[in-house]
Chains A and B, each alone.
Chain A
């Protein structure tokens, strides 16, 4: 063993920072080692599209202040990967052959782009993923005002990339096997509104279609059409980084399996963030919910427990808020149960009600005060049918009654 830290964190994203803050809420002194594959201090990953758009600069993308690591007595190992975990001797093996001992380990390794084995992909000269600030900078270097960009994948990553590149390139085409944009968070009705906004802006959508093969700057589509492009962005999906825990014998599905304390099935090894799968209380099923808010809360929870405290994160739900060209989409929870649509001049709200309880929603446009809905879902608030009706029309604290209002507005929460 070459060195020892009481706490070792693999990864340096949102979950890792949550982990540091969780540990430091109880243990101010013991050493923390952070192993980061990316050669950067923690930054706000979702801002990479805003960087392309010119709304964020690398200097201002830091997730925490410049002195975060120093202030929190963390040793930061940049540009190094963990390649193995020895769970018996409690050591992490690094890609330079050295070994680090730990007392508690947090695996916050995130996810990596999934690149399907497209025929002819190697003939494409300028191809990129869109996951890291380095990806964004590499894309920026390769584009010109007349570039034709093909983005494979009309999910959150692909469309944010399209928005970021909008106005900086000649044309943007986005294709997806799914029949709608944002298929992971929106149903067909809501996705249609968003798709229309993108097309109004001049982004070409090829839905229900994907690339069958590449030949240099040409993509032959499943539909038989040929798309010519200069720059290719692959945003098909991501895969959770499970291998370290899996190889060490830990339970994994599509993600590393964690309980509500963020413990893996291996003792003293915790996991948090995009590499994990855990319980979605709105649907009652275990899934990957790769979301920044959840990553932080998981990381914090893991950190507290690693430092000997007792915290659970037992009300996780999927939730997303994302805008494209001024049109905002929000969704939370599940779409099980009966759907109920409320429309007004601001947009459309679609609610999902199961056994009398609100379990999910999707909103296009009318996003004001949507957190009231999210809270009802996360905390499984029971409402009478007339109260539910009233809050769906108009989100307010009114339905919660005087006692609750007085405690919220007249007390410390």
Chain B
């Protein structure tokens, strides 16, 4: 399957991916509306002044989050994408407790959210990849 991959050599640490992610998943009509609003991006840039890189769901081949989910909200779709059924999530955060990469986070209501490769939102393809100015984030088969 195609996944989002990150090359820290090219990451500028600009955090644009976080904004593009938050916008793509916000349902808002304009990115400008994110100004001053607390955002809940599903990709996070971490590192220091010299090294930076973005972390999002790895769509693991053997996802411990799915095995651990207490409400049956997490599953794998037909493409292998690890997805969350928002309606079934009760916000217990067991997935946050077990994800080795810290890639599951919470939305404003406390429910678990994670990268779903923008396949279900208005972007249609990973917004972090589309907006990365230095091609540090790519979407491909490896």
* Chain A residues packing against B (C-beta within 8 Å): 18, 44, 46-47, 50, 55-56, 60-64, 292-293, 296-297, 300, 319-323, 326, 328, 330, 332, 367-372, 374-375, 379, 395-398, 402, 405-406, 408-413
Contacts and interface: CB of A to CB of B under 8 A. Distances in A.
Nearest to B55: A397
B20 to A, nearest CB: 18
Most chain B beta carbons < 10 A, residue from A319, A367, A396: A396
Interface in B56-113: 58, 60-61, 64, 67-68, 70-72, 87-88, 90-102, 104-106, 110
B67 A297 contact: yes
19 contacts: A44-B71, A63-B72, A292-B68, A297-B67, A321-B96, A323-B91, A323-B92, A371-B102, A395-B102, A396-B55, A396-B102, A397-B53, A397-B101, A397-B102, A402-B8, A406-B7, A409-B5, A410-B5, A412-B142
Interface of B: 3, 5-8, 46-48, 51, 53-55, 58, 60-61, 64, 67-68, 70-72, 87-88, 90-102, 104-106, 110, 142
A61 B88 CA distance: 8
B101 A50 contact: no
A368 B96 contact: yes
B101 A398 contact: no
Contacts of B47: 396, 398
Contacts, number: 128
Contacts of B101: 371-372, 397, 408
B26 to A, nearest CB: 20
Contact of A293 (B6, B7, B98): B98
Binding site of B, secondary structure by majority: helix, strand, loop or mixed?
loop
A323 to B, nearest CB: 7
A402 to B, nearest CB: 7
Nearest to A372: B102
Contacts of B67: 18, 293, 296-297, 300
Contacts of A326: 110
A44 B69 CA distance: 9
A352 B58 CA distance: 28
Contacts of B70: 44, 46-47, 292
Nearest to B5: A410
Given A397-B101, A398-B46, A412-B142, A328 B7 contact: no
A409 B98 contact: no
A267 B109 CA distance: 49
A371 B72 contact: no
A56 B71 contact: yes
Given A330-B96, A371-B96, A372-B101, 9 more contacts: A321-B96, A323-B92, A328-B93, A374-B97, A397-B55, A410-B7, A410-B142, A411-B5, A412-B61
Nearest to B97: A321
B43 to A, nearest CB: 11
A405 B53 contact: yes
A366 to B, nearest CB: 11
